[in-house]
Amino acid sequence: CTSSQNTFSGDKMVSCNHTLNHFFERVFPVFSLCLDLIPPGACNLLNSSAIYANNEVNLAEVDIYGFDYDYTLALYSNALNTMIYNAAKGFLIEHFRYPEGILKYDYIPNFAVRGLHYDIQKGLLMKIDAFHYIQPGTVYRGLNPLPDEEVLELYGGTYHVPLEQDSGFYGKGPKVKQFMDIFSIPEMTLLAVANDFFITNDIEYDPVHLFKDVSEAIGMVHLKGYMYKWVVQDLDKYILRGEETHAVLHKLVSSGKKLFLITNSPFSFVDKGMTHMVGEKWRDFFDVVIVQADKPHFFTDCIKPFRRLDTKGDLCWEKIKSLDKGQIYKQGNLFDFLRLTGWRGSKVLYFGDHLYSDLADLMLRHGWRTAAIVPELEHETKMVSTGRYALNLTWLQALTGLMERLQTHRDPESQQVFLEWQKEREELRIMTKNLFNPQFGSIFRTCHNPTYFSRRLCRFSDIYMTSLSCLLNYDLSYTFYPRRTPLQHEAPLWMDQLCTGCMKTPFLEEMSHIR
- Positions at the binding site for GMP: 70
CB 35 within 8 A of CB 439: no
CA 273, CA 379: separation in Å to the nearest integer? 25
Looking at 179-313, which runs of residues are DSSP E strands?
Answer: 239-240, 258-262, 288-291, 306-309
SS3 329: strand
Please report, to the nearest 10 degrees, the dihedral formed by the alpha carbons of residues 180, 49, 436, 500 taken in order: 110
SS3 84: helix
How far from chain centre, in Å, is Cα 236? 26
| Residue of 36, 70, 148, 411 with catalytic role | 70
Which amino acid is located at 486 in the chain?
P
CB 360 within 8 A of CB 319: no
Radius of gyration of the chain (CA): 26
Which amino acid is located at 175 in the chain?
K
Q: How far apart are the first and last CA of the chain?
A: 20
How far from chain centre, in Å, is Cα 444? 6
Segments in 53-102 forming alpha helices (H): 79-94
Q: Is-catalytic flag, 70?
A: yes
Q: Is-catalytic flag, 119?
A: no
Binding residues for Mg(2+): 68, 353
Beta-strand pair 140-141/144-145? antiparallel
CB 115 within 8 A of CB 443: yes
For the chain, what percentages of helix, strand and coil (3-state, to nearest 5) are there?
Answer: 45, 15, 40
CA distances from residue 323 to 285, 293, 311, 327 in whole angstroms, order as listed: 15, 14, 16, 8
**Taking the alpha carbons of 83, 87, 89, 90 in that order, is the dihedral positive or negative?**
positive
Binding residues: 68, 70, 353
| Residue of 68, 181, 213, 271 with catalytic role | 68
Catalytic residues: 68, 70
